[in-house]
Amino acid sequence: MSNNIIIKNAKLIKTGETVNITVKNGIISGISSGESLKNHENYIIIDAGGNYISPGFIDLHVHLRDPGFTHKEDIETGTKAAVKGGVTTICCMPNTKPVIDNPTEIKYILGHKSYCNVLPVAAITESQNGEKLTDFTELKKSGAIAFSDDGKPVENDDLMREALVKSRENNTLIMSHCEDMKLAHGGVMNDGETLKKINREYNLNLKGIPNEAEDKITKRDIDLACETNARLHICHISSGKSADYVADAKQRGFKITAETCPHYFVLTDEDILKYGVNAKMNPPLRSFYDREKIIDGIKSGVIDCISTDHAPHSRSEKCDDGEKTIDLTKLQNSMNGITGLETSFALGFTYLVKQNHITLEKLIDLMTINPAKIIGIDDKYGTIEIGKAADFVIFSTDEKFIFDKEKSHSKSKNTPFHGFELYGKILYTIVGGEMVYKKI
């Protein structure tokens, strides 16, 4: 498809104005409500039909599983799922095999076929073993957008402090997975009343993961970032107290940002009883109180953006035999994580906007310009302005749909949101002026 397109009859979110947007060579060249569509013979015209247009969504936290675990997902299938969900830029996490800890693996990621922009996040430590820092300077030069040992924390305090100093010196970002591994060890879900109920009624002895496992490392990493004057991004906040730690650091003027995921503002640990292994994740689903604190954090701006922590696994790895009857004994052996790229916007619109927690404009900011600013790509992405990249998503706020995981473009189907009635249907996704997804 040509990189020269005109999108007509598209409604802007901030103003409500219906405009035509002209794109030349993948860059926005014109925005006008009165622009003539004549003299554009070599342009492809896409009619938005009066639906909303937004900058393409930016997801800071995605597991593409490539290289090494391509039975779960690969770069092509993961990015195909992304554009179906309106996501045009993703940051892929380094816990692959081999780990993304050297320029060769960065080159592998950047050289692969993809449907959207893929920005590699490099490991903080070599092989993510928590013993020796990677070469931040060389990895950034090779194309790493940030650094994380996601999947586990950097447990050694001194090494984490050194990592933050190196990130500051290289003007890059640390993305922290906050989990005290000793406190979380062996846990399968939130340590709360629902776990007690499951153990009692099913005669099990499942171990819980206390909020403290997340809170302890969140506080440590924030304290270290404040001490070193480094930028720090807290991944997948699920605990209300961790959100409070972020709020406090922001009030004191430190460079702390944070994300949460749709499952933490839609579900609680009680939903394990409904969805079983497909509601098992790390951090785990928390209490009703924590969910309300997460929503409050989104409303107040303490939480800067919505990411997915898209974590595909095969059915066997999730211990999911496809039966409708929930077998909670399988929680112990099931791997953590759910897919999320195709549902993130619809869940945000349905559960945040339609329930009057935030405006549509706020949701779009959480999924576009805010994450763009966090990783420093807002000069090119995150807004609809002349001279910016022509990455767009066109969506309907009125069309209701039922999410069917079997029609997902991801290789894996591990989601608790199968059968959910949602609003916010993606109609078109455009990356660099090329239409990469169209609703059938």
Nearest to 310 by CA among 4, 79, 16: 79
How far apart CA 119 and CA 318 sit, in angstroms, is 27
- E-strand ranges in 173-251 read 174-176, 187-190, 207-209, 232-234
Report how far residue 279's alpha carbon sits from residue 267's, in angstroms, rounded to the nearest whole number: 9
DSSP letter for each residue of 251-282? HTT--EEEEE-HHHHH--GGGHHHHGGGG--S
Burial 313-342 (b: 16+ CB within 10 A, else e): bbeebbbbeeeeebebebbeebbbbbbbbb
Choose the catalytic residue: 149, 191, 215, 309. 309
327 CA to centre of own chain: 29
How far apart CA 22 and CA 255 sit, in angstroms, is 37
One-letter amino acid at 207 equals: K
Q: Which of 440, 258, 261 is nearest to 347 (CA)?
A: 261
Establish whether 309 is a catalytic residue: yes
Count the neighbouring beta carbons within 10 Å of the beta carbon of residue 242: 28
Distance between CA atoms of residues 420 and 403, nearest Å:
6
Q: Taking a C-beta distance cutoff of 8 angstroms, is the pair 188, 159 a contact?
A: no
Please confirm whether the linkage preceding 153 is cis (ω < 30° from 0): no
Identify the CA nearest to 275 among candidates 313, 347, 326.
Answer: 326
Beta bridge partners of 122: 147
CA trace torsion 244, 350, 398, 401 (10° rounding): 150
In which element (H, E) is residue 422 found? strand 421-431
Give the residue numbers annotated as catalytic, written as ranges. 309
